[in-house]
């Protein structure tokens, strides 16, 4: 099977490439890639053996995006999402590699669950699935899980996402022990004793809505602790879903000091404020919570100056009935895979990031953190790529999501730019 | 005219709407003072008390108000435990509606529940207290009582004292009294007054003696005993030493200051019996006025066209 | 389109005559009280009381009655009627009550007023006095004292304008504009 993608504007930060050109795919691998001058282009002729020629004129062609933070819910919560539906949503959103968090049932805290996820993904998945193992058994924060064994089975990082390791000694051990296997520890930074049973950002709005607030400090205290522990141990720390100004400052300073820390944020943290919660909209209930305008500005600055390395979605699908209830009792989470690209393109339009920088944050930066050969268009790599129409306008409609999770606070938003075609290991999704 | 079919909070009401409720309540106060305390205004309509949190006072007040408007009243008390396992909140509300409810009076421990249900049912939803959000009819009856006693609300100096942070009554009172032109201050320990609340245009005092000076109205709040174990204050004893309304402290307010409390009271903790039972207390009148105000709310909501 | 049916003089004369009729029918003012129906009826009740006082040299009690809670059209009106105070500072039990209203039309307001009065006590009798009777009764109700009978069409309204409300005293007949 040969596929030729012609005349697209190719951006591949891994090769410092940005220009109009062609990509030839053969047997699921990148066979050839060329950007060329205008004259050369006119001379190019179709290859007789090519089975599919895609004209990408006026479109941009990127390496398949990597989302290093998703929840696929399988095993255990198949009513929320399955590996099949979640990876299809990923592909629709332009992602060809997703890393799934371990908070399934059972928890991905041992190699047999990892093996199950990998097997399911290879049978029913639509893109590459790289599991993230739990740091501690049962995500309980008490005993380390078998990090080495799970790494062998395919886990590329470890995290107790959603159930942060409160015990500083255990966190220290995790950062130390993981060094032996070269895997990063991803920390959901939240001091649970401070956030208690908070459900939204703490501020005037939480007071007037009568909802229990989560102060920014609940995130920052833990980020500071984990940075200190990373500094102490020399372990590799990746901070998940950064949401506050203070967090960005802490990470920026740590990086200046040379601490091995990387960080991600999500589209909702640079797109909407806590105001989205008004009217008790449970689809805007997410953890960490949506913050303020000021935080959004700081997150954007963090993305711009490189403090924040990665844009991930924290795709957290939930069943409609779970969200359609008391705000206090509804689960946290936003279904994010299918409009991450359009929300992120706003950063380019606003002049915060160049297109190349944006692509880095969704391709080579996560690839480097996870040390995987993904997110590039180098000859010989998996043929993972996405073609994006940056001008296409569309309204966000959750009923058109292929994800089972329709929980989005962006319902009805008019956005610009969307993936029109994704190729995953040579398979075309359009 | 009220704009919405539901009474979700004072936040959503204009000063005109609040005054309309208070004026209308005057007529109902006359009715409940007579031998025959009932009018046929809402004959044939049905009110359902849907209480997910135990409450005797508010539920009884709504029940009497509905009955005195000649409505049929059903009490639908649901212990939280059975909701957690059983049918969803929305299913419960739809069931109540299918039973023929014109009014659903709801109390729930989660903020925003009345708002959620108001979009799902055609009946008028009346918020009888949701989480730490609002308790609008309490604020209306408080305003009615103050207006009755002081002849006005505009320009009055009013102190709300106690656990502001966890009080839906305090929130509704603040919105209501501010809209009617009162100057509102909050008094209590810093752990029970959220810092950001000052942005609502109220002043905050942590010292009771300073705070009470020259007040026209003192609105005491109930201190929940369980706050003690959670670090909001070390003991009820210490709370009382600093923030209990005593006779000595009352003398710091204006000579004609009135004392209010939404009940039930913790005597000796937030208020001493001498004051609660004394001539400055209007606490029992608040209870009576509650019926008149709730009648007015239901009467006016019945007239909102959908 | 409006037409004046009565001017100030006409109204004064009618009220004077009605006051005399009330005294005559009740053989004096013993046990008599006037209750005006909010709002127009309240002013007329006060005027009747002062007319009666001129003749009989006696004060008779006057009250005002709000009938909003007793109306039978709460479900079909565009908006809830404004609630005004019922102020009857005397026991109505065993009194003869003269209900006073400005215009008698379908009779439904009077039915509501009778129910409202009955909830206040048990009067020995209720009589009805109206400035205008415009016909079109829907209930078996008849006024005991009438200022003026005016045949009207259902497409017309009768408006009693009084000094107490800031108008010049007069009664006018209006055509109802076609309202969509």
| Contact of chains B and C by CB distance (3 or more pairs under 8 angstroms) | yes
Q: Is A207 on the interface with B (CB under 8 A)?
A: yes
Q: Is A210 on the interface with B (CB under 8 A)?
A: yes
Mean pLDDT estimate for chain C: 92
Q: Are residues B129 and B149 in the same domain?
A: no
Q: How many domains are there within chain B?
A: 2
Q: Are residues B169 and B47 in the same domain?
A: no
Q: Which residue has the higher pLDDT, C84 or A343?
A: A343
Residue at C90 is within a domain: yes
Contact C83 B35 (CB under 8 A): no
Indicate the residue of B133, B196, B200 with minimum beta-carbon distance to A210.
B133
Q: What is the CATH number of the domain that holds A19?
A: 2.30.40.10
Residue at C77 is within a domain: no
Residues of A with CB below 8 A from B93's CB?
none
pLDDT score at C86: 87
pLDDT score at C48: 96
CA distance A278 to A111: 43
Distance (Å) from the C-alpha of residue A347 to the closest C-alpha of chain B? 31
pLDDT band for position C180 (50/70/90)? Answer: very low
**pLDDT, tens digit, for every residue of C85-109?**
888 889 999 999 999 999 999 999 9
Q: Is A329 on the interface with B (CB under 8 A)?
A: yes
Predicted confidence (pLDDT) at residue A349 exceeds the cutoff of 70: yes
φ, ψ dihedrals at C111, nearest 5°:
-60, -45
Residue at B216 is within a domain: yes
Structure-block tokens of residue B224:
């929940």
Q: Are residues B158 and B175 in the same domain?
A: yes
CA distance A282 to A326: 8
Contact B89 A279 (CB under 8 A): no
Q: Are residues A73 and A55 in the same domain?
A: no
pLDDT band for position C164 (50/70/90)? Answer: very high
pLDDT score at B254: 97
Distance (Å) from the C-alpha of residue B16 to the closest C-alpha of chain C? 13
Q: How many domains are there within chain C?
A: 1
Q: Are residues A222 and A277 in the same domain?
A: yes
**pLDDT, tens digit, for every residue of C124-155?**
999 999 999 999 999 999 999 999 999 999 99
Subunits next to A (3 or more Cβ pairs <8 Å) are: B
Residues of B with CB below 8 A from C74's CB?
41-42, 302-303
Q: Burial level of B303, CB count in 10 A (0-12/13-18/19+)?
A: middle
| Contact of chains C and A by CB distance (3 or more pairs under 8 angstroms) | no
Contact B305 C79 (CB under 8 A): yes
Q: Which residue has the higher pLDDT, C78 or A299?
A: A299
Indicate the residue of B88, B108, B112 with minimum beta-carbon distance to A209.
B112
Predicted confidence (pLDDT) at residue C78 exceeds the cutoff of 80: no
Read off the pLDDT of each residue in A118-122 and give the average, rounded to a whole number.
97
Q: Burial level of B155, CB count in 10 A (0-12/13-18/19+)?
A: exposed
Residue at B5 is within a domain: no
Contact A280 B132 (CB under 8 A): no
Q: What residues of B are in the A interface, CB distance below 8 Å?
A: 11, 88-90, 108-113, 115-116, 130-134, 168, 171, 194, 196-197, 199-200
Contact C83 B36 (CB under 8 A): no
Residues of B with CB below 8 A from A208's CB?
11, 171, 200
Q: Are residues A26 and A124 in the same domain?
A: no
According to DSSP H, which parts of chain B are helical? Answer: 15-32, 57-68, 80-85, 89-98, 113-118, 136-150, 168-179, 208-212, 236-243, 247-250, 273-276, 283-302
Q: Which of C156, C101, C161 is nearest to C133 (CA)?
A: C101
pLDDT score at C75: 72
Asked about A314 being catalytic, the answer comes back as yes
Q: What is the CATH number of the domain that holds B256?
A: 3.40.50.1370
**pLDDT, tens digit, for every residue of A168-188?**
999 999 999 999 999 999 999
Q: Is A180 on the interface with B (CB under 8 A)?
A: no
Residue at B2 is within a domain: no
Q: Are residues B246 and B171 in the same domain?
A: yes
Q: Is C29 on the interface with B (CB under 8 A)?
A: no
CA distance A98 to A91: 10
Distance (Å) from the C-alpha of residue C90 to the closest C-alpha of chain B? 12
Residues of B with CB below 8 A from C79's CB?
1, 303, 305
pTM: 0.91
Contact B132 A326 (CB under 8 A): no
Q: Are residues A12 and A120 in the same domain?
A: no
User: How many other CB atoms sit within 10 Å of the CB of residue A180?
Assistant: 10
Contact A326 B116 (CB under 8 A): yes
Q: Are residues A111 and A196 in the same domain?
A: yes
Q: What is the CATH number of the domain that holds A226?
A: 3.20.20.140
Q: Are residues A152 and A242 in the same domain?
A: yes
pLDDT score at A43: 47
Q: Are residues B229 and B259 in the same domain?
A: yes
Indicate the residue of B88, B115, B130 with minimum beta-carbon distance to A321.
B88
Residues of B with CB below 8 A from C121's CB?
35
Residue with tokens 């404004």: C82
pLDDT band for position C83 (50/70/90)? Answer: confident
Q: What residues of B are in the C interface, CB distance below 8 Å?
A: 1, 23-24, 26-28, 30-31, 34-36, 38-42, 69, 296, 299-300, 302-303, 305
Contact C80 B303 (CB under 8 A): yes
Domain hosting residue A14, numbered range: 2-61+381-401+412-429
Q: Are residues B192 and B250 in the same domain?
A: yes
CA distance B20 to B2: 8
Answer whether A153's CB lies under 8 Å from A130's CB: no
Q: Are residues B32 and B129 in the same domain?
A: yes
Question: Are β-strands C170-175 and A95-100 bridged in parallel, bridged antiparallel, or unpaired?
Answer: unpaired
Residues near A426 by beta carbon (within 8 Å), at least 6 away in sequence: A1, A3, A25, A27, A28, A29, A382, A383
CB pairs under 8 A between B and C: 51
Residue at B173 is within a domain: yes
Q: Are residues B47 and B78 in the same domain?
A: yes
Domain hosting residue B103, numbered range: 15-133+287-302
Residues of A with CB below 8 A from B168's CB?
210
Residues of B with CB below 8 A from C70's CB?
39-41
Mean pLDDT estimate for chain A: 95
Q: Are residues B160 and B273 in the same domain?
A: yes
Subunits next to B (3 or more Cβ pairs <8 Å) are: A, C
pLDDT band for position A302 (50/70/90)? Answer: very high
pLDDT score at C40: 87
Smallest CA–CA distance from A196 into chain B, residue: B230
Q: Are residues B156 and B60 in the same domain?
A: no
Tell me what percent of the residues of chain A surpass a pLDDT of 90. Answer: 94
Q: Are residues B129 and B142 in the same domain?
A: no
pLDDT score at C1: 72
Distance (Å) from the C-alpha of residue B296 to the closest C-alpha of chain C? 9
Chain C residues 105-144 with a CB less than 8 Å from chain B: 115-116, 119-121
Q: Are residues B194 and B79 in the same domain?
A: no
Q: How many domains are there within chain A?
A: 2
Residue at C56 is within a domain: yes
Name residue B124's beta-bridge partners: B103
Q: Which residue has the higher pLDDT, A311 or C178?
A: A311
Residues of B with CB below 8 A from C122's CB?
none
The segments of chain B whose pLDDT lies below 70 read: 79-87
Structure-block tokens of residue A43:
């001379």
Q: Are residues A115 and A259 in the same domain?
A: yes
Q: Are residues A224 and A364 in the same domain?
A: yes
Residue at B176 is within a domain: yes
Answer whether B185's CB lies under 8 Å from B204's CB: yes
* Catalytic residue, candidates A67, A314, A382, A384: A314
Q: Which residue has the higher pLDDT, B229 or A307?
A: A307
Residue at C51 is within a domain: yes
Residues of A with CB below 8 A from B197's CB?
204, 207
Smallest CA–CA distance from B298 into chain C, residue: C80
Q: Are residues A265 and A322 in the same domain?
A: yes
Chain C residues 64-93 with a CB less than 8 Å from chain B: 66, 68-71, 74, 77-80, 82-86
Cis status of the peptide bond prior to C39, with omega within 30 of 0: yes
Residue at B34 is within a domain: yes
Residues of B with CB below 8 A from A330's CB?
none
Tell me, what's the ipTM? 0.93
Indicate the residue of B89, B134, B200 with minimum beta-carbon distance to A326.
B89
Q: DSSP letters along A236-259, please?
A: -EEE-----HHHHHHHHHHHHHT-
Q: Are residues A6 and A83 in the same domain?
A: no
Residue at B223 is within a domain: yes
Domain hosting residue C136, numbered range: 2-72+82-175
């Amino acid at each position: 099977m040969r596929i030729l993608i012609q005349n697209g504007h190719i951006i591949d930060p891994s090769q410092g490439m940005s220009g109009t050109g062609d990509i030839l795919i053969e047997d699921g691998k990148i066979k050839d890639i060329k950007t060329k001058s205008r004259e050369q282009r006119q001379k190019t002729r179709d290859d007789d053996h090519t089975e599919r020629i895609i004209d990408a004129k006026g479109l941009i062609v990127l390496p398949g995006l990597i989302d290093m933070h998703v929840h696929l819910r399988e095993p255990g919560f198949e009513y929320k999402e399955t590996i099949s539906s979640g990876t299809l949503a990923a592909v629709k959103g332009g992602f060809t590699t997703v890393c799934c968090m371990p908070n399934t049932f059972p928890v991905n805290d041992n190699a047999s669950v990892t093996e199950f996820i990998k097997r399911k993904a290879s049978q029913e998945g639509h893109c590459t699935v790289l599991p993230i193992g739990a740091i501690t058994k049962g995500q309980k924060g008490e005993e380390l899980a078998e990090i080495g064994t799970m790494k062998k089975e395919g886990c590329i990082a470890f995290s107790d996402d959603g159930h942060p390791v409160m015990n500083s000694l255990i966190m220290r051990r995790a950062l130390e022990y993981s060094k032996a296997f070269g895997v990063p520890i991803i920390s959901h930074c939240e001091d649970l004793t401070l956030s208690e049973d908070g459900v939204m950002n703490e501020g005037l709005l939480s007071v007037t809505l009568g909802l229990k607030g989560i102060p920014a400090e609940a995130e920052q205290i833990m980020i500071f602790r984990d940075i200190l522990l990373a500094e102490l141990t020399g372990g590799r720390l990746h901070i998940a879903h950064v949401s506050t100004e203070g967090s960005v400052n802490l990470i920026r300073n740590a990086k200046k000091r040379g601490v091995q820390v990387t960080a991600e944020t999500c589209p909702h943290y640079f797109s909407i404020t806590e105001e989205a919660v008004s009217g008790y909209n449970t689809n805007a209930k997410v953890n960490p919570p949506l913050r303020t305008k000021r935080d959004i500005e700081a997150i954007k600055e963090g993305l711009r100056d490189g403090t924040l390395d990665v844009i991930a979605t924290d795709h957290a699908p939930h069943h409609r009935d779970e969200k359609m209830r008391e705000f206090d009792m509804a689960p946290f989470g936003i279904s994010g895979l299918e409009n991450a690209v359009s929300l992120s393109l706003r950063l380019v339009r606003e002049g915060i990031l160049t297109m190349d920088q944006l692509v880095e944050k969704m391709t080579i930066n996560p690839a480097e953190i996870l040390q995987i050969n993904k997110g590039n268009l180098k000859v010989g790599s998996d043929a993972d790529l996405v073609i994006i129409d940056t001008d296409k306008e569309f309204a966000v409609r959750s009923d058109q999501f292929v994800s089972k999770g329709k929980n989005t606070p962006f319902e009805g938003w008019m956005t610009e730019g969307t993936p029109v075609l994704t190729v995953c290991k040579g398979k075309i999704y359009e | 005219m009220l704009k919405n079919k539901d009474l979700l909070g004072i936040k959503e009401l204009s000063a005109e709407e609040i005054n309309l409720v208070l004026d209308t309540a005057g007529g109902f106060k006359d009715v409940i003072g007579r031998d025959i305390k009932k009018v046929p205004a809402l004959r044939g309509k049905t009110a359902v008390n849907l209480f997910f949190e135990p409450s005797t006072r508010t539920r009884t007040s709504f029940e009497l108000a509905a009955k005195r408007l000649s409505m049929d009243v059903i009490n639908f008390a649901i212990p939280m435990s059975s909701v957690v396992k059983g049918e969803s909140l929305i299913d419960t509300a739809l069931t109540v509606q299918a039973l023929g409810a014109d009014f659903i009076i709801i109390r729930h421990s989660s903020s925003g529940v009345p708002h959620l249900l108001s979009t799902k049912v055609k009946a008028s939803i009346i918020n009888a207290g949701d989480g730490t959000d609002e308790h609008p009819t309490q604020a209306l009856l408080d305003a009615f009582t103050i207006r009755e006693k002081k002849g006005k609300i505009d320009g009055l100096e009013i102190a709300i004292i106690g656990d502001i942070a966890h009080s839906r009554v305090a929130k509704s009172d603040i919105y209501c009294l501010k809209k009617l032109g009162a100057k509102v201050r909050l008094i209590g320990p810093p752990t029970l007054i959220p810092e950001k609340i000052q942005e609502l245009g109220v002043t905050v005092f942590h010292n009771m003696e300073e705070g009470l000076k020259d007040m026209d109205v003192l609105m005491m709040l109930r201190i929940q005993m369980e706050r003690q174990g959670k670090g909001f204050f070390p003991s009820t004893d210490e709370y009382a030493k600093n923030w209990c309304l005593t006779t000595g402290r009352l003398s710091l307010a204006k000579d004609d200051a009135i004392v209010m409390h939404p009940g039930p009271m913790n005597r000796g903790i937030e208020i001493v019996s001498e004051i609660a039972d004394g001539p400055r207390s209007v606490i029992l009148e608040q209870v009576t006025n509650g019926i008149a105000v709730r009648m007015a709310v239901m009467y006016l909501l019945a007239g909102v066209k959908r | 389109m409006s037409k004046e049916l009565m001017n100030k003089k006409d109204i004064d004369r009618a009220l004077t005559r009605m006051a005399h009729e009330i005294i005559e029918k009740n053989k004096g003012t013993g046990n008599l009280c006037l209750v005006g129906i909010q709002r127009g009826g309240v002013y007329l009740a006060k005027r009747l009381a002062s007319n009666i006082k001129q003749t009989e040299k006696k004060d008779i009690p006057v009250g005002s009655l709000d009938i909003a809670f007793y109306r039978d059209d709460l479900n079909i009106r565009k908006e809830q009627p404004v609630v005004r105070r019922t102020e009857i500072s005397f026991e109505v039990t065993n009194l003869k009550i003269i209900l006073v209203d400005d215009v008698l039309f379908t009779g439904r307001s009077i039915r509501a007023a009778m129910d409202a009065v009955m909830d206040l006590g048990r009067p020995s009798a209720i009589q009805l006095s109206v400035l205008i009777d415009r016909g079109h009764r829907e209930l078996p109700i008849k006024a005991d004292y009438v200022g003026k009978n005016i045949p009207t069409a259902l497409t017309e309204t009768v408006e009693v304008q009084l000094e107490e409300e800031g108008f010049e005293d007069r009664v006018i007949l209006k055509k109802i504009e076609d309202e969509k």
